[in-house]
Amino acid sequence: DLVDWQKPLLWQVGYLGEKYDEWVHQPVDRPIRLFHSDILEYLSKTAWYVVFVVWAPVVLYLSWVSYTSLAQGNTRLFSSFTTEYSIPVHKYYFPFIFLLGMFLWSLLEYLIHRFVFHMKPPASNYYLITLHFLLHGQHHKSPFDSSRLVFPPVPASLVMAFFYGILQLLLPQVLGLSVFVGGLCGYVIYDMMHYYLHYGSPKKGTYLYGLKAYHVKHHFEHQKSGFGISTRFWDHPFRTLIPEETFEKED
C-alpha cells in the first residue's frame, strides 16, 4: 500500500523516504511500469539477445582493428615519457591485453554493482532515490522481469564512451582500444550471464549452478553482500562474500 501499482513507479518511490530501502529489497513477482510515456517505457526494456546482436560484432571488429594496428609495429608503451626506454607492443601481445581488459571489467563490474547500484540513497533526497530505483532498485524489486535484466544499448554506449575516453587519456591509442575491447567483451559475457542466472537451469555441481545459487542468495537473503555476478573473485578481497554456511544449510 506504499505505492500505486496501477501508475508508473519511478515518480512515486522518491516519496517513500526512509521506508524506501526496506521496501525495495522486498521482491515481488509482477511487472513494473517506470514511465508515463509509452516510448520511454519501451526504450527501458531490452530483450537479452539484443545485447549480443548489438555488441558482439563491435567486439569482433574492434579486435580486428586493434590487432592489425599493433601489427604495424608503431605502438610503444611509455613513449610519451621517454623514447629511449619505451617498450614496443607487438601484435602477439593482443590476446594478453584483451584478457587484461576482461579482468579489469570484472573489477569494474564489482565496483559499480556495490557502490553505485547498491548505494543507500539519503531518505530525504527524492532525486537520488529515484535515480537508484531507475539504475538498479527496480531490478531488486522485481527480479523476475525478464525485459529489464540486461542494459539497453543506448545508455550502455554512453557509459562505454566515458571509459573509452579514460583509456585513451591513460594509454597509447591502439593499446587503449585493445584494453577497451577486452572490457567490452567482458561486459557482454556479464550481461548474458546475468540473464542466465535468473532464467537458466544449470546442472547441479557446475560453476554456473554455484553462481546462480550465489546470485539468488544476493537477491533474497544477502542484499548487502555477494556483489560478484560473473565471478565471486572480488568478493574475497573486499570481504563481501556470502557466508558458506547458508549454502550448506540449503544442501
DSSP states of the chain as a string?
--S-TTS-STTTGGGGGGGHHHHHTS--SS-----SSHHHHHHT---HHHHHHHHHHHHHHHHHHHHHHHHTT--EETTTT-SSS-EE--GGGHHHHHHHHHHHHHHHHHHIIIIIIT----TT-HHHHHHHIIIIIHHHHSTT-GGGSS--HHHHHHHHHHHHHHHHHHS-HHHHHHHHHHHHHHHHHHHHHHHHHHH--PPTTSHHHHHHHHHHHHHHT-TTS---SS-SGGGTTTT-PPPTHHHHHH-
Asked if residue 46 belongs to a domain, the reply is yes
Q: How far apart are CA 241 and CA 233, in angstroms?
A: 9
Domains of the chain: total: 1
- The model's pLDDT over 163-199, given as tens digits with 9 standing for 90+, comes to 999 999 988 888 899 999 999 999 999 999 999 999 9
Asked if residue 71 belongs to a domain, the reply is yes
- The model's pLDDT over 99-115, given as tens digits with 9 standing for 90+, comes to 999 999 999 999 999 99
pLDDT at 74: 75
Asked if residue 117 belongs to a domain, the reply is yes
Asked if residue 193 belongs to a domain, the reply is yes
pLDDT at 250: 57
Asked if residue 110 lies in contact with residue 227, where contact means CB atoms within 8 angstroms, the answer is yes
pLDDT at 251: 54
Q: Which residues of 131-145 are buried (b: 16+ CB within 10 A; e: fewer)?
A: bbbeebbbbbbbbeb
pLDDT at 246: 56
Interacting residues of 68 by C-beta distance below 8 A, sequence separation 6+: 91
Asked if residue 144 belongs to a domain, the reply is yes
Asked if residue 183 belongs to a domain, the reply is yes
Asked if residue 83 belongs to a domain, the reply is yes
pLDDT at 188: 97
Mean pLDDT by 10 residues, the chain (251 residues): 91 95 92 93 92 96 93 69 64 92 97 94 95 95 92 93 93 90 97 94 93 94 92 95 69 54
Asked if residue 243 belongs to a domain, the reply is no
End-to-end CA distance of the chain: 36
Domain assignment of residue 41, given as a range = 9-212
pTM: 0.89
